[in-house]
Structure 1
């Protein structure tokens, strides 16, 4: 991680869950972190005494292109540009393919796919413009991108994560074709104890008594990915909780 000390990472969905854990892990290793979220004030409450990196909490709505572009402009004007992008922002909703309103589908796809893609495009273009050839793009995907749908209420969510996996491979090949050494990768966890489940209905009463990963487990996988020698591109990490049947 020494090559990234003092450099700039943008983390979306940074105020809670996986995004917060990733932001903290980067700060602990001396990276300057722009934490982008709808609730940036939550990051201002963090205790940062033991962190060597600088935190910049910033409002940003990844479902809104203009909001994303304003974030990148602020980073360019204030910090010079983005060297690492970690796409953590994501939504999961009960979205039946037969009965769910289009607005629910659209919101989930705007965040999980289009927002992720716009952030990725802007970060890569910024790296190209500045001649950054050792940047890194990380998508927080899901085991849903690898396994069959277990509940039709989440078909659109699964579809979004399969698409994230396809987009990552497309990005990798595009960078190879351009002879760029910018690396890309994704982390695909099973169930993680985060707020993403708070918006779901119909969960069993004992849901939170199940076996979960913790956000810090996913953050450690991101650090592992970033810490590899420049010749090594860890493209996909699947993480399951020990004892879980998912």
Structure 2
């Protein structure tokens, strides 16, 4: 990881859960991290706890459902922090809904963040990466095991479909970036113990405590593994499952 010291990374959804864990890990490895989120106050709190780390976390307000907000956030990173080397698309949401009784608004809200927001952030990041002469750059999509293996979760609705889209987008992006120095990786965890899942009525804190789960730092460790490989090694996909998870 030494070659990443002082390099700039953007982590979306950095205010909580997996995004926050990845942002913390990158800062501890000496990277300069722009944490994108709507709730920048929470990122500032995380940054305050990282003051003794070799890197630094900068809060950047960004709503990934709004193109203007994304463009402005990436412009700020370029102007204030320098060339971008790493993008981690961790922002994601879910809505407890259904395919037979759900609303268009509920479905669109999930795709706007999980798919279109990811596309917009990736577009802006890649434009910056291609302008630099850096020999190495990485895009990491935080995907989900639900993109491949869909458990019976009442209210899952369009969420697995949105994550399946991310799988396809990653492969298409690799095709488009053929011949460049930019690598693209999917990290797909199973059930992770975050507030994200407790938004479902069946996943109370008590229920989650009784189930096999990963924690956000497990996913962050996978991101560090991706970056620790040399530039000629592409880690295409990483699947993480908690021991004992059966679906």
- Give how far 1:211 is off: 1.6
Match of 2:12 in 1: 12
CA contact (8 A) 1:127 1:133 kept: no
> What is the CA distance between 1:98 and its match in structure 2?
1.3
1:132 aligned counterpart, secondary structure: coil
Aligned residue among 116, 119, 129 for 2:118: 116
Give the 3 Å change call, closer, same or farther, for CA 236–158 of structure 1 in structure 2: same
Q: Distance in 2 between matches of 1:151 and 1:217?
A: 23
User: In 1, Cα distance between the equivalents of 2:128 and 2:146?
Assistant: 30
Mapping for residues 1-246 of structure 1, pairs under 5 Å:
1-46=1-46, 47-151=49-153, 153-176=155-178, 179-203=179-203, 206-209=206-209, 210-246=211-247
CA-to-partner distance for each residue in 1:5-45, whole Å, 9 max, x for gaps? 10100000001110011001000010000001111111222
Moved over 6 A (4+): none
Alignment RMSD, CA only? 1.5
Maintained 8 Å contact 2:90/2:141 = yes
Post-superposition shift, 1:205? 7.8
Corresponding residue SS for 2:97: coil
Kindly indicate whether the alpha-carbon contact (under 8 Å) linking 2:198 and 2:205 is maintained by their aligned counterparts in 1: no
Distance 1:135 1:205, change over 3 A: closer
**Closer, same or farther in 2 for the Cα pair 1:70/1:205, shift >3 Å?**
closer
On the 8 A contact 1:149/1:155 being kept in 2, the answer is no
Secondary structure of the corresponding residue to residue 219 of structure 1: helix
The number of aligned residues is: 244
Q: Does the aligned pair in 1 maintain the 2:142–2:188 contact within 8 Å?
A: yes
Between the aligned partners of 2:52 and 2:204, the Cα distance in structure 1 is 39
Provide the rounded CA distance (Å) in 1 between the counterparts of 2:102 and 2:139.
Answer: 32
Partner SS for 1:83: strand
The offset of 1:152, in angstroms, is 5.8
What SS does the aligned partner of 2:230 have? coil
- Report the Cα offset of residue 140 of structure 1: 0.2
Paired with 1:35 and 1:213, the residues of 2 have a C-alpha distance of: 22
Q: Secondary structure at the match of 2:243?
A: coil
